[in-house]
Amino acid sequence: MPSLPMVANLPKGPHYGALAEFATPHELYVACEKVRDAGYTRWDAHTPFPVHGLDRAMGMRRSPMPFIVLGMALIGAAGGFALQYWVHSIEYPLTISGKPTFAWPAYVPITFELGILFGALGAVFGMFGLNQLPMHWHPLFNSSPFEKVTDDRFFISIESWDPKFDAERTRQFLQGLGSRRVELVASE
Amino acid sequence: MSHIPATTLRPEQVTLPARHLLARLPVIGLVLAIAGLGLGLSLRAANPRAFAFAWLNAYLFGLTLALGSMFFILIQHATQAGWSVAVRRIAEAVAGAMPIFAVLFLPVLFGMGDLFPWARPEAANEPLMKWKAPYLNTQFFLVRAAVYFVVWSGLAIYYARASRSQDQGGAGTAPSLSMRRFAPPAILLLAITQTFASIDWAMSLSPTWYSTVFGVYFFAGSFVGFFGLLALLVIPLERGPLHGIVTIEHLHDVGKHLFAFTCFWAYIGFCQFFLIWYGNIPEETAFYQARLHGGWRAVSALLAVGHFIVPFFYLMGRTVKRKPRLLAIGAVWVLLMHLLDIAWIVLPGSHPEGLRIGLLEIAAYLAVIGSFLAAVGWNLRRQALVPVGDPRLRESLAFEIS
């Protein structure tokens, strides 16, 4: 594993995969359900805007993000509390406002803020990690029709290392889903 | 990409069947209220002071739920919320119980001398209370209470009527527009009256004590309690007469509000405690002095754990909010904690040694909650359960959390 992937770890082959273009979110949605039901596992959908319910049409599992955020938040909160306890009660006890050295209510704001900070860091970097970001280049950029994915076109890409992938049969399958154009995208 | 139901709803499709549990609330509530009132009045002679505290305790529990529902309705209109239309009528039914709280306030008036030290003749000789007398005096107290009830009942009745006026069709979007335009000033009105009511009826139980965030704390408790009640009313409807109209998606959002406002309550509750604890000024610490020593210490700890930590972790996950049975457990728990929160505010006045829920307290709960539920049930029965003429109903029916 490279530390910062320029591109996802791709098995080398002549093709990155098959790319099918659709004109409307509805066509894409229906096609995604069929790709899911055909048993493909290494594939993705690309849209210019979020399409409601697409994750279900694609049969995606729930993201582990909530647990990453919760775990990080708890670590942050525990760390914040422990830091203050160590400073105020062990390493450098000072009497402040006549409070006991272990004055836990005074620790709560920092405990809370560090919980929030770590939770937020977990959310940002967890998202980066799960999406393999930053990724500066991707084989799909080899396709010039794909440029319209940020404008008004909808795409499904099936990767060539999907166990069910077969260049010819997958192309025909995608064409059968009503795609207006299917192409095989080069991997380099 | 969701299926939007093409057909529009008619009011008669969304009425409460006579055999439904919620349709029996008026009878059940009335029986409980009469039993509670009879028991309470028979016990009052022996200890009128304890009766006054028990009544105020139960009264504030019920009132805060009704106030929370009013706030909810106003926020939905002010923000033009789409998701909540399918459950808004239920909040309107809860808010519609507001006028009965003006009647239920009578025992508080009769017990003023027992409840509020400033209402006693000897208050004139107390240096601190003498300074507060221009605000804390019986006449002004009565005027303010009258203003609160006029504002609250007026808002509840106006919003319920305007919403109902759309049910038969024909009214168009005009009522929705005026409800929306009036919502922001109405929120201000409600916030100000509710804050002053919390000062009058809860904070002035110890008139030399003050906390500037008390009104917000009171609101936080009222809002979280209301979402507990809303969940408990919506769940039997989702599984019964409103199946397919009120969905798991709506329940999920109600659960999110329940979760969010337990956090808000804890945030405000801790802020209030923290600043007073840090400042350590005797006239501010008296409130916590009474609640962090003796029997109330355990109740304070239970509130911190039970009103925040337990629901925080219980309601955090997605599954609990989408399983009606699990959400109902959370809602009951939060409501019980709200009940404890009000008792923690009110009851140290009559039971400084610790929490004691005796016959008097139970009688007052039965009387207030019984009348409240009877009114809510009656409101649910006499109108459609969904504002079928609301222009955003379609959006609400199609609502999905992805």
Complex prediction ipTM: 0.82
Contacts of A51 in chain B (CB under 8 A): 1
A39: left (phi over 0), alpha (psi -120 to 50) or beta: left
Position B34: which residue type? I
Q: Which two tokens stand for residue B316?
A: 């955090």
pLDDT of the residue at A4: 45
When pLDDT is cut at 50, 70 and 90, the band that residue B1 belongs to is: very low
Tell me the percentage of chain B whose pLDDT exceeds 90: 87
Please give chain A's pLDDT, 188 residues, in tens: 344 444 555 566 788 999 999 999 999 999 999 999 999 999 999 999 999 889 999 999 989 999 999 999 999 999 999 999 999 999 999 998 889 999 999 999 999 999 999 999 999 999 999 999 998 889 999 999 999 999 999 999 999 989 999 989 999 999 999 998 999 998 87
Q: Which two tokens stand for residue B181?
A: 């335009």
* Contact status, residue A65 vs residue A72, Cβ threshold 8 Å: no
When pLDDT is cut at 50, 70 and 90, the band that residue B402 belongs to is: low
Position A128: which residue type? F
Position A48: which residue type? P
What is Dmax (Cα atoms) for chain A?
Answer: 80
User: Exposure pattern of B373-393 as b/e (b: 16+ CB <10 Å)?
Assistant: bbbbbbbbbebbbbbbbbbbb
Distance CA B117, CA B111 (A): 11
Subunit contact A51:B1, Cβ cutoff 8 A: yes
Q: Which two tokens stand for residue B397?
A: 């029916």
Q: Has residue B7 got a pLDDT over 80?
A: no
Contacts of A108 in chain B (CB under 8 A): 270, 274
Position B265: which residue type? W
Q: Which two tokens stand for residue A95?
A: 């009497």
Subunit contact B2:A57, Cβ cutoff 8 A: no
Contacts of A109 in chain B (CB under 8 A): 274
Phi, psi of A157 (to 5 degrees): -120, 130
Contacts of A62 in chain B (CB under 8 A): 318
Which member of B2, B274, B318 has the closest CB to residue A52?
B2
Cα torsion angle, B76, B82, B87, B89, sign = positive
Contacts of B273 in chain A (CB under 8 A): 105
Task: Report the run of H or E that residue A43 belongs to, with start and end.
Answer: strand A43-46
pLDDT of the residue at A3: 44
Question: What CATH code would you report for A11-60+137-186?
Answer: 3.30.70
Residues in chain B: 402
Q: Three-class SS of residue B245?
A: coil
How many other CB atoms are found less than 10 A from the CB of residue B319? 8
Closest by Cα among B98, B100, B104 to B37:
B104
In angstroms, the separation between the Cα of residue B133 and the nearest Cα of chain A is: 34
pLDDT of the residue at B55: 97
**For residue range B336-372, what is the model confidence (pLDDT) as tens digits?**
999 999 999 999 999 999 999 999 999 999 999 999 9
Distance CA B252, CA B227 (A): 12
Position B278: which residue type? Y
Q: Three-class SS of residue B306?
A: helix
In angstroms, the separation between the Cα of residue A166 and the nearest Cα of chain B is: 30
Q: Which two tokens stand for residue A32?
A: 């995604």
Contacts of A52 in chain B (CB under 8 A): 1-2, 400, 402
Q: Which two tokens stand for residue B376?
A: 């809510």
In angstroms, the separation between the Cα of residue B265 and the nearest Cα of chain A is: 15
Cα torsion angle, A7, A10, A12, A18, sign = negative
Position B249: which residue type? E
Subunit contact B280:A51, Cβ cutoff 8 A: no
The whole-model pTM stands at 0.91
Q: Has residue B3 got a pLDDT over 80?
A: no
pLDDT of the residue at B127: 86
How many contacts (CB atoms, under 8 Å) link A and B?
A: 33
* Contact status, residue A29 vs residue A53, Cβ threshold 8 Å: yes
Contacts of B317 in chain A (CB under 8 A): 66
Nearest CA in chain A to B279: A97
Which member of A29, A62, A108 has the closest CB to residue B270?
A108
In angstroms, the separation between the Cα of residue A52 and the nearest Cα of chain B is: 6
**For residue range B255-298, what is the model confidence (pLDDT) as tens digits?**
999 999 999 999 999 999 999 999 999 889 999 999 999 999 99
pLDDT of the residue at A2: 40
pLDDT of the residue at B360: 95
pLDDT of the residue at B172: 81
Which one of A74, A97, A107, A111 would you mutate to disrupt binding with B, by most B Cβ within 10 Å of its Cβ? A97
Q: Three-class SS of residue A162?
A: coil
* Contact status, residue B269 vs residue B344, Cβ threshold 8 Å: no
Q: Has residue B2 got a pLDDT over 70?
A: no
Nearest CA in chain A to B313: A70
Contacts of B278 in chain A (CB under 8 A): 97, 105-106
Contacts of B400 in chain A (CB under 8 A): 52-53
Distance CA B356, CA B172 (A): 53
**For residue range B24-76, what is the model confidence (pLDDT) as tens digits?**
999 999 999 999 999 999 999 999 999 999 999 999 999 999 999 999 999 99
pLDDT of the residue at B8: 75
Q: Which two tokens stand for residue A116?
A: 């929030």
pLDDT of the residue at B399: 86
Subunit contact A105:B274, Cβ cutoff 8 A: yes
Q: How far is CA B230 from CA B22, B157, B305, in A?
A: 13, 19, 23
pLDDT of the residue at A140: 92
In angstroms, the separation between the Cα of residue A187 and the nearest Cα of chain B is: 33
**For residue range B130-164, what is the model confidence (pLDDT) as tens digits?**
889 999 999 999 999 999 999 999 999 999 999 99
Which one of A63, A96, A108 would you mutate to disrupt binding with B, by most B Cβ within 10 Å of its Cβ? A108
Which member of B1, B270, B402 has the closest CB to residue A29?
B1
pLDDT of the residue at A43: 94
Subunit contact B402:A55, Cβ cutoff 8 A: yes
Distance CA B178, CA B69 (A): 19
Which one of A22, A28, A52, A54 would you mutate to disrupt binding with B, by most B Cβ within 10 Å of its Cβ? A52
* Contact status, residue A41 vs residue A162, Cβ threshold 8 Å: yes
Q: Which two tokens stand for residue B325?
A: 């049975």
In angstroms, the separation between the Cα of residue B402 and the nearest Cα of chain A is: 6
Contacts of A56 in chain B (CB under 8 A): 402
Q: Which two tokens stand for residue B127?
A: 């240096």
Q: How far is CA A131 from CA A5, A20, A29, A64, B362, in A?
A: 11, 22, 22, 12, 57
Within chain A, which residue ranges are assigned CATH 3.30.70?
11-60+137-186
Give me the long-range contacts of B233-240 (CB less than 8 A, separation at least 24): B233/B22, B233/B90, B233/B93, B233/B94, B233/B376, B233/B380, B234/B87, B234/B90, B235/B324, B235/B327, B235/B328, B235/B331, B236/B20, B236/B21, B236/B22, B237/B22, B237/B90, B237/B385, B238/B324, B239/B324, B240/B17, B240/B20
Nearest CA in chain A to B402: A53
Q: Which two tokens stand for residue B380?
A: 């649910």
Interface of A with B (CB under 8 A): 25-26, 29, 51-57, 62, 66, 70, 97-98, 105-106, 108-109
* Contact status, residue B230 vs residue B94, Cβ threshold 8 Å: yes
Tell me the percentage of chain B whose pLDDT exceeds 70: 98
